[in-house]
């Protein structure tokens, strides 16, 4: 998948200008897909857009353009089936659960500290981790 992900038509400025022209106050962008693929430069996982053929931090591009134009950026983070790390929809062992929680916490820290002000983060996927 990484070699095929080029996103040559992604243009953050064009998306933001269209949103502003339509009267939108914010943009929702996926930061992490259900398969674990990140649209940002994650130090936690190599499965991201920077390591793909695209070689781009798409969240970073969108965050910069949104901040410059004064429009909010909402990121969607999927807690879904992280097929890169386990095959089931939920970690089955306590060790897998701890690894999943550490990965999620680490990536959320990356998103919240590296991309300027965010309007919101929306979680998609698994209802909650086991307690």
23 DSSP assignment: T
Q: Residue 130's pLDDT is what?
A: 45
pLDDT in tens, 5-53: 999 999 999 999 999 999 999 999 999 998 889 999 999 989 999 999 9
Enter the pTM of the model: 0.87
- Read out DSSP for 42-95? -SS-S-BTTTSTT---HHHHHHHHHHHHT-EEEEEEE-S--TTT-SSSS--SHH
Residue 84 has pLDDT above 70, yes or no: no
In the chain, count of helices (H) and strands (E)?
A: 3, 3
DSSP run (H or E) holding 27: strand 26-32
- Model confidence at 88, pLDDT cuts 50, 70, 90, reads low
């Amino acid at each position: 998948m990484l070699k095929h992900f080029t996103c040559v038509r992604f243009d953050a400025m064009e998306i933001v200008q269209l949103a502003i022209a339509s009267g939108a106050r914010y943009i929702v962008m996926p930061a992490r897909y259900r398969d674990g693929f990140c649209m940002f430069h994650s130090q936690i996982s190599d499965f991201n857009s920077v390591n793909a053929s695209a070689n781009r931090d798409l969240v970073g591009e969108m965050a910069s353009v949104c901040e410059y134009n004064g429009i909010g950026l909402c990121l969607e983070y999927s807690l879904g089936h992280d097929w890169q790390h386990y095959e089931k929809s939920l970690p089955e062992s306590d060790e897998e659960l701890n690894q999943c929680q550490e990965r999620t916490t680490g990536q959320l820290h990356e998103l919240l500290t590296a991309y300027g002000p965010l309007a919101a983060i929306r979680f998609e996927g698994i209802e909650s981790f086991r307690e």
